[in-house]
Amino acid sequence: MLHHPTLDKLQQLRLNGMLAALREQRDLPEIATLGFEERLGLLVDRELTAREERRLQSRLRQAKLKHSACLEDLDRHTPRGLDQALITQLATGEWIREGLNCLILGPTGVGKTWIACALAQQACRQGFTTRYLRVPRLFEELRLAHADGGFPKLMRDFAKTDLLLLDDWGLMGLDAEARRDLLELVDDRHGQRATLITSQLPVEHWHDLIGDPTLADAILDRLVHNAYRITLKGESMRKRRARPLTATTVTE
């Protein structure tokens, strides 16, 4: 008789994990063999699990990752120069705690973005806040923020994000405003927050891409010298997995 008001109160308190667990306990005859503290412990564990799952889903929504990738599904067999030991090390998340960077380099189609999203998803699971942005979109957001007065707030948001994933670096050169914004962004994060960059362009070409020698030195000093590198090679995995197309005969 006491279960119905208790369930209602759990719902009012938004203790949805405990609510679901208590409902399940009512349908288990063997639950009567457990003591009060054991049953309470099961309810509390379920609530903690439910809350952590909600927080994880919230972090994943905020991250806006391009791929629903996870390290458990990483293709470790296709020959592309993947350093398995380094991936295992990065999976611990210690580099994010230390505010270090990671560069994933290689030709198009070798899985740079997928691996980056898998590392970012792992970071979300470990409790880190994460944000995915293609580099052209990053500079577009910064340009619009200058125009509408939202630049300071946007930069504060980027500065406090534990892991910022910048995809497709090097597809376009930088103008003067973009160079200044990038320097401010990486300076805010240097030694405090982690940045993950994917690029088809080798690092030795980044200086020319940025343009201004003085700003390029400052930007790369904050991005490259404290970064792990994953350098991939090989044929495009999209090409490997593409199904052959067959011609169809059209008769009149």
Give backbone dihedrals phi and psi of 74, rounded to 5 degrees, phi first: -65, 130
One-letter amino acid of 47:
E
Q: How far apart are CA 133 and CA 119, in angstroms?
A: 14
- Radius of gyration over every alpha carbon of the chain, rounded to an integer in angstroms: 24
Parse the chain into domains and list their residue ranges.
3-62, 64-235
Q: What is the pLDDT along the chain (252 residues), one digit of tens a residue?
A: 455 787 777 787 777 777 777 777 777 777 777 777 777 777 777 777 778 888 888 999 999 999 998 999 888 877 778 889 999 999 999 999 999 999 999 998 888 999 999 999 999 999 999 999 999 999 999 999 999 999 999 999 999 999 999 999 988 889 999 999 999 999 999 999 999 999 999 999 999 999 889 999 999 999 999 999 999 987 766 665 655 655 555 444
Q: Are 165 and 130 in contact (CB under 8 A)?
A: yes
- Which 3 state secondary structure label does DSSP give 252? coil
Residue 167 has phi, psi (to 5 degrees) of -100, 145
Cα 66 to Cα 69: distance, rounded to the nearest angstrom: 9
- What's the topology of domain 64-235? Rossmann fold (3.40.50)
Place of tokens 């991005």: 223
Secondary structure element (H or E) that encloses residue 133, with its range? strand 130-134
Closest among 185, 196, 246 to 218, alpha carbons compared: 185
